[in-house]
Every structure is written in structure tokens, then in C-alpha cells.
Chains A and B, each alone.
Chain A
Amino acid sequence: MAFEKVLTRNVGHPEALGVRGYRDRGGYDALARALRMAPEEVVEEVKRSGLRGRGGAGFPCGMKWSFVPRQHPKPKYIVCNADESEPGTFKDRLLMENDPHQLLEGCVIAGWAVGANTTYIYIRGEYTKAARILEEAVRDAYASGVLGENVLGTGFRHDIHVHRGAGAYICGEETGLLESLEGRLGQPRVKPPFPAVVGAFGCPTVINNVETLCCVTHILQRGADWFKGIGPDERNTGPKLYAISGHVERPGTYEYPLGITFRELLEGCGGMYKGRGLKAYIPGGASAPMLGVNDQEIPLAFDHLARAGSMLGSAAVIVMDETTCVVRATLRLSRFFAHESCGQCTPCREGTNWMAKILTRIESGKGTEADLDLLASVVPNVGGISLCALGDAAQGPVKSLLAKFGDEIRDNLRHGRYPLPRQRFFDPGAAS
């Protein structure tokens, strides 16, 4: 059976921006269905679907929901993580700008499932257009009886508030996000306790990514069996958005069954830019170790990429052609992590800066063999020993640079810098 796109079905249908248009296209049926089920049944359905978080960590969504205590004296919260800032990732922006109600519907379903009456959508501050569209959709949903005191006439109360961040990658980490939501520096918390028990404002909280909550909507609409039927195996299920960028002919967000291969994805977006050869690709955003020309048949799914030494992450695929200096590319990512480390834990704060500094020396032609040894000795000490995974993420690109592109680093050391002339993307003759 041909694969039917569901997450992006309303892209190109601007009428779906309004409640009426969204309903005409089948929207809010899933919510009505969920509200006829017992909350426990909704959790069970999502568990059975095999849905794993689409934000980066790939944690099973239904299991996360089931950690929230049923009986609890405090209010409970849903927090939608719309702080999309993993370099290379732009899929959630597409979902929010084109189909805001798909997300709102998922939020209310999640609220019903765990017994939460409030959702905060924490959206990165730079996404001003998406925030405007969401605010408008929320107003419309209140006016149409989808939100508020009496959701779809069932007596269930649910409120949704859009809350803007202010520019900090670490606020995509779920406890950093909660700190930021509460008006503080986005510095991750000590865990345990986990947010399911002590989350937003000290209350039980579920934090789900935008695409994850959109998947929930379709799981309730079509059933767990439909969702489970998509993807390579029962641990890697469902439709998936792949955001592909860099040196390809048609960068963009593409919806496929989870687990298509890099080669298939590349073909679907018109192949390499100007037909050039591939040097490396990153399968899951800046945190994911790079893969090379020999890794093109790996299914882009959680477990398959993990076995290959990388990760699906946010499924942001960044493609680098044969003219790319991978040292320079890695340096850019290392500078990013050094800038974004929140400064709380020493291994991450110091380690990300050390990696960026050593790579700067190597890239600029001032590096020595000793720098390479130093880099190799620093990398293992940056991750795994901090409050959050930013240090681990920062290791990813450098680890793979050392493992896969040692020859190229040595070329940098030997020749002073990248042996090819510095790549200029814009042809000076072409500009008018």
C-alpha cells in the first residue's frame, strides 16, 4: 500500500489554519474519539503504537505519560516543546505555521490522557510567525468550544498558552525549558525527580515535542495498529518528518515512513547539489555523529542509526558534498556547542570551549600533531558526566571527525589548512 502522508496533509491548505477549515478536513475527530475513551485507554493506545519522541531522545511517549501519577493533589501540566533549535532542524516550524490545530488537538488529547487542564507551548523566541499563527489558532479554538471550560461539550477543561523563549539552545532540554518557562536561566535541573512527578511549577508534567503531539492526533484518529504498521520494526514506528539541508538540490521537510534510507531520502530531494559527490552527512542534527559515503543504506530510524554509531535525533539531515572542509564544518558545530553550554557543569563548559579552540587552531593551519592528540584526549571527558546531554551532544561531531576523517585532519596539519581553495558558494560572475 502506498504511504499516505498525514503529518503534512494540511500543508498547502491554508483553510486548515482556522477551526472550521481544519474540521472540514477531518480535524478534531481524534479529540472527540479520545474524549469518549477512558484516559487510561488513551495512554494504552499511544503505548501500543510504539510512538517514540520526535524531539531528539526518542523516548517512548506512552511510557512517559504513564509515569504521571493518576492521583495527585497538585495540578498537572502538558508542556509542548516547540523550542526547535537543533541545528539543521526546521520540521516543527512547518507543522506550526501550516497546521496549528493538528498540534493543539494533540495537546488536548495528551491533557485528557494524563489529567492535565493546562498546556504551555514553549516556542523559541525567534519563531515569531509561528507564534502569531498559534496564538490566532488558540483564540479560534476557544471561540469554537475546542478549548476552555467545556471542551467539545464534554465538561473537560483545557487551556493552552503560548509562551515565547528568548534564544537559548539549552531550553530545548526539558528541564532547562521548565526553568525558562518559570522565568529563570534555562539551566537544566538535577534528575531525579523527573518532570513527570516534579515538573513545571513543582507539579507533574509531561513534556512532548511538537511532532510527537501531532503524531498523537493521528494515532487517536486511525488507531495504534495503523501507526505500528509503518516503519521497519515494532521499536521504530510511524510516519516521520525528515528535514534535509545543505548540499542537495531541493532542501526541505519530507514525510516518509520512519526508516527510509539516506539514499532514498537523497533521491527524493533531487540528489546532490549540482550532481557533486557526497563527502559526509549528519543524520540527526548537530549532535549526531557524521556518517560517510559508505553509510548511505542505513535506515534512518532510532535503533538502526544508534547501531551505526550515530543517532536519529531530530531527523535533521545535513548533507556535505566533496568540496566541503569537514574540519571547518565540525569547528562551526563545536563553536555552537561552546556558545550554548549553559555553564553549570565544568566538563561541558570547559570541554566545549577546549574542543572549539583546538579545532580553530587546526582549521586555521596553526595546529600540530600534539593538538590532534590533545583533542582526542579531551573529547571523551566532555560528555556523560553532566546534568544534561549537551556535553554528549557536543562530542558527536568531533568524535566522528576523528574516527572517519583522520586523513583530512592530517591534510590540514600538513598543508597549513584545507588543501583546496576556500570554497565560495556564490559564483562572483553570476551576481548581477
Chain B
Amino acid sequence: MTNHATADHSILPESVRTEIDALRPRYPTTEALLLPTLHRAQRAAGGWLSPETIVAVADFLELPPAKVAAVVSFYDMFHDHPVGRHRIRLCTNLSCQLRGAEELLEVLGEEFGVGEDEVSADGRCSYVQFECLGSCDTAPMMMVDDEYHENLTPERVRQIVRALD
């Protein structure tokens, strides 16, 4: 048990545990902490949730690992497979489609040389089409990590992705 707990701590960092512990009084159940925990665990783990991380989260919240895995697979912002260092979500829903999003998808493919949801050879980036991100007045748009980039053109997309480290 001790070994198990020690191993978990290397996967789910102390800082995440402390932050989540501070949120416990907000909710009448531990289960309600699952989404907040997964957001933080994913960030700490480099953008995706490995089976080991899922087990560590389950252990920490005393939930069945299968339940945590099911939640991870349900939500578009959680990833159960490796992603690039930067994660690009290009909105291609109607308002963005009407203003050229499909052309921007081609630009992303050209820039990274990989298909959707694949990691570029240098590990820098992965990109996906995403559903409406609520920025239709500044369409087309994409989200790079946590930031919105709006009123995009093919040229602007190239500039943005080339500036990523």
C-alpha cells in the first residue's frame, strides 16, 4: 500500500493534491471533484491522461478506475492518448465554416505534415477540428492551448503555428 501511494505521488503531483484538497469543502461529494482533478492532472502530465494517471486519480478520489476512464473518454477536452506539446483546436462548425475554416484546416495539415489528432514529427503540435467554441463573431477562429486566436486568415494561421516553440 505504501509503495502504491508513493508511486501515485510521482504521477499525480503534490501540488494538484493540495489544490484539490482545498476544493473539497465546496462539494457535498468527492465524486464532484473528478472534473477539477482531471483538468489539473492532465495539465501536470503534459496534456494527456495515461492509464497510470487515470489510476492515480481514481486512487486519490477513491473512485473505480473504470469510472474515471469512462469520464475521460466522454469529454472532448480530456485525452487518453499522447498529444503534441501544443494543442490546436480549430472550430469548423457552421459560423466558422461559412468564413473559411475548411481552408484553415488544410493549412494546418500542410504546416505539420500530419493528419488530425496526430502528433507532428517534432512533437510540437497536434490539431483537431472542434465544435463551436463560442467565438462566431470573430470567425474563423482556433484555440491554441488555452488562448483564442480570432479573425484568422491562412497567413495568420501560418504565423501563429510557426511561432510555437
The answer to whether A binds B is yes
A residues contacting B by CB (< 8 A) are 75, 84-90, 92-93, 124-129, 159, 161, 163-169, 180-186, 201, 243-247, 251-253, 282, 286, 316, 318, 320, 324, 328-329, 332-333, 336, 339-340, 342, 424-426, 431-432
What is the distance, in angstroms, from A330's C-beta to the closest C-beta of chain B?
Answer: 9
Whether A125 and B39, one on each chain, are in contact in the complex, defined by CB atoms closer than 8 angstroms, is yes
Whether A125 and B95, one on each chain, are in contact in the complex, defined by CB atoms closer than 8 angstroms, is no
B38, B136, B154 pick with most chain A CB within 10 angstroms? B136
Whether A186 and B29, one on each chain, are in contact in the complex, defined by CB atoms closer than 8 angstroms, is no
Is B32 part of the binding interface, using a Cβ–Cβ cutoff of 8 Å? yes
Whether B34 and A164, one on each chain, are in contact in the complex, defined by CB atoms closer than 8 angstroms, is no
Whether A332 and B94, one on each chain, are in contact in the complex, defined by CB atoms closer than 8 angstroms, is yes
What is the distance, in angstroms, from B144's C-beta to the closest C-beta of chain A?
Answer: 12
Is B92 part of the binding interface, using a Cβ–Cβ cutoff of 8 Å? yes
What is the distance, in angstroms, from B105's C-beta to the closest C-beta of chain A?
Answer: 12
B92 closest partner in A (C-beta): A332
Whether B95 and A431, one on each chain, are in contact in the complex, defined by CB atoms closer than 8 angstroms, is no
A246 closest partner in B (C-beta): B98
A166 closest partner in B (C-beta): B75
Whether B136 and A318, one on each chain, are in contact in the complex, defined by CB atoms closer than 8 angstroms, is yes
Whether A166 and B78, one on each chain, are in contact in the complex, defined by CB atoms closer than 8 angstroms, is yes
A122 closest partner in B (C-beta): B35
**Interface residues as binary, B12-35 with A (CB distance below 8 Å gives 1, 0 otherwise):** 000000000000001111011111
B residues contacting A by CB (< 8 A) are 26-29, 31-36, 38-39, 63, 67, 70-71, 74-78, 89, 92-95, 97-100, 103, 131-139, 143, 146, 148, 153-155
* Across-interface contacts of B71 in A (CB, < 8 A): 183-185
Given A167-B76, A185-B74: A246 in contact with B134 (beta carbons within 8 A)? no
| Partner pick for B132 among A87, A129, A182, A186, CB 8 A cutoff | A87
* A/B interface sample: 22 pairs, CB < 8 A: A75-B28, A87-B94, A88-B136, A90-B135, A90-B136, A90-B137, A93-B135, A126-B89, A168-B75, A181-B32, A183-B34, A186-B75, A244-B137, A246-B136, A251-B138, A318-B95, A329-B98, A333-B94, A425-B100, A425-B103, A431-B153, A431-B154
* Across-interface contacts of B63 in A (CB, < 8 A): 183
Whether A166 and B35, one on each chain, are in contact in the complex, defined by CB atoms closer than 8 angstroms, is yes
* Across-interface contacts of A431 in B (CB, < 8 A): 153-155
What is the distance, in angstroms, from B104's C-beta to the closest C-beta of chain A?
Answer: 9
What is the distance, in angstroms, from A180's C-beta to the closest C-beta of chain B?
Answer: 7
B35, B38, B71, B138 pick with most chain A CB within 10 angstroms? B35
| Partner pick for A251 among B35, B39, B139, CB 8 A cutoff | B139
Whether B75 and A251, one on each chain, are in contact in the complex, defined by CB atoms closer than 8 angstroms, is no
Whether A87 and B137, one on each chain, are in contact in the complex, defined by CB atoms closer than 8 angstroms, is no
What is the distance, in angstroms, from A159's C-beta to the closest C-beta of chain B?
Answer: 8
B94, B136, B146 pick with most chain A CB within 10 angstroms? B94
What is the distance, in angstroms, from B15's C-beta to the closest C-beta of chain A?
Answer: 18
In angstroms, Cα B39 to Cα A166, docked, is 8
What is the distance, in angstroms, from B47's C-beta to the closest C-beta of chain A?
Answer: 14
* Across-interface contacts of B77 in A (CB, < 8 A): 125-126, 166-167
Whether B38 and A166, one on each chain, are in contact in the complex, defined by CB atoms closer than 8 angstroms, is yes
In angstroms, Cα B7 to Cα A69, docked, is 48
A339 closest partner in B (C-beta): B131
Give the top 5 A-B pairs by smallest Cβ distance, nearest first.
A425-B100, A167-B76, A245-B136, A166-B75, A183-B34
In angstroms, Cα B63 to Cα A256, docked, is 48
What is the distance, in angstroms, from B127's C-beta to the closest C-beta of chain A?
Answer: 15
B34, B75, B137 pick with most chain A CB within 10 angstroms? B137
* Across-interface contacts of B95 in A (CB, < 8 A): 87-88, 245-246, 251, 318
Known: A127-B134, A425-B103. 7 other contacts (CB 8 A): A126-B143, A129-B146, A183-B63, A245-B98, A324-B98, A332-B94, A340-B131
Given A87-B95, A129-B148: A93 in contact with B134 (beta carbons within 8 A)? yes
